[in-house]
Structure formats: C-alpha cells, structure tokens
A and B are shown apart, each in its own frame.
Chain A
Amino acid sequence: SQQGEEDPQALSIQEGENATMNCSYKTSINNLQWYRQNSGRGLVHLILIRSNEREKHSGRLRVTLDTSKKSSSLLITASRAADTASYFCATDARNNNDMRFGAGTRLTVKP
C-alpha cells in the first residue's frame, strides 16, 4: 500500500515564485525522501531527511520533517520553468524492506 500522500495533487505557479508541496504518512519511518519525475522518465532522487532531522537544504530545495505530525514539506524557491515535473515523497518505514511512494504533486511553472 502507498505510504506517503502528497498535497496538493497539482500546483501551477509563475516563474520566480516559491512552490511548496506537502507529504503526509501513517507509520514510523527511518527516513523520508523526495524525488522528481519528468514526464515519461524515471525518478531522480532529490533529498533524503532522516527521522531525527527537522530540516535539510540542497540548493533551492528546502525539506522539513515533523515526525509528531507525520508530515514533510518540500519548498522550491525561485522556481524556474525547468522545475516543471511531478514530485514524489517516499517513506522508508521501520517495518518494511522497501520504500513506499505517494501519488505525487504535479508542478507547472509558467515562464
């Protein structure tokens, strides 16, 4: 069964604006990861945040994790048209041998 659920399902913004996507999950996790998928392509790993971490940065990406609320957010600052893609969260749960992916947020950045 899918573990993470992203919100919103779709997001459309103008170039230069910030984009925020949220992910909620249900069970205890070892870590949570965010991936990006361009249409018809494989997923690309963006960032991993461990259960004992609260915030992590990578370039224009900022990820937060709140284990008490079982939620995470991905912030993309100063968005570009090239950021247009689907973004997925994936949870590495403590009682699983694999990761579970949500349905994704489809981000459109208009030039």
Chain B
Amino acid sequence: DGGITQSPKYLFRKEGQNVTLSCEQNLNHDAMYWYRQDPGQGLRLIYYSQIVNDFQKGDIAEGYSVSREKKESFPLTVTSAQKNPTAFYLCASSIERGTYGYTFGSGTRLTVV
C-alpha cells in the first residue's frame, strides 16, 4: 500500500542534542513538507521541497535543517539551536497542487528530557 511513513513515533532528546526525524513516501509525490503542531494549535510550516535537491524555508525554519537527496525521503533534523523542540511533527506529500490534497504521515512526538 502506498503512503508516508514517519519514524520513530516517539523520540526523546536531551538538551544540546541533534535528532533526525525520518519521513519516507512511496507515492511518487514530488513535493514534501514538514509541519510542527503544538497542543491545541494548527500546523506551522517548517520546510518544504518541491523537487529533489531543492527545499525552501517555511515560517519557522530556525533551528531545523532538511535534505532531499531522494524523491522518496525528506528527513528533518532538529538541532540544538531549536530552543523549544517539544512538539508533534508531521510530514506530508502532494502530487499536484490544486487537484489533490496532502497525504500525511502519522507523526513523530518529540520530547526534550
């Protein structure tokens, strides 16, 4: 079955540590996105990529980094520069804007310990 897989489901980070969240899709979608969701709030865009080897900053890119070396993969690194990383992180992909909606993964809950 086609879909988006995010891993891990839960992640704990120590202060000053970098962590990487995985996002893999087998939908052959060109565009991929990372959103952050805080309790009771909507989604805020961190980074997005419309094609391989290209990505753009979203509204809250500071303290995060991404890569898009393969069409299927769009990993997100939460660096030590991100001062408040505890949140729910959602990855999404899309094939054709304006025609279809986004397909979302099931999310990664990151907690700083």
Contact = CB atoms under 8 A, between A and B. Distances in A.
Q: Do A and B bind each other?
A: yes
Interface in B55-112: 56, 58-59, 88, 90, 92, 97-107, 109
Contacts of B43: 43, 88, 101
B50 interface: yes
Interface stretch (A11-19, A27-35, A59-67, A74-82): A27-35
Interface of A is mostly: strand
B105 A42 contact: yes
A41 interface: yes
A103 B97 contact: no
A45 B107 contact: no
Interface string B18-43: 00000000000000010100001111
A41 B106 contact: yes
A40 B107 contact: yes
Contact of A50 (B44, B88, B98): B98
A30 B104 contact: no
Given A40-B107, A97-B56, A45 B41 contact: no
Interface residues of B, number: 30
B90 A43 contact: yes
A79 B41 CA distance: 24
Nearest to A34: B101
Contacts of A92: 97-98
Contacts of B97: 30, 92
Contact of A97 (B40, B50, B107): B50
Contacts of A101: 35, 42-43
Interface in A32-76: 33, 35, 40-45, 48, 50
Contacts of B52: none
Contacts of A48: 99-101
Interface of A: 1-2, 30-31, 33, 35, 40-45, 48, 50, 88, 90, 92, 97-104
Interface of B: 4, 6, 33, 35, 40-45, 48, 50, 56, 58-59, 88, 90, 92, 97-107, 109
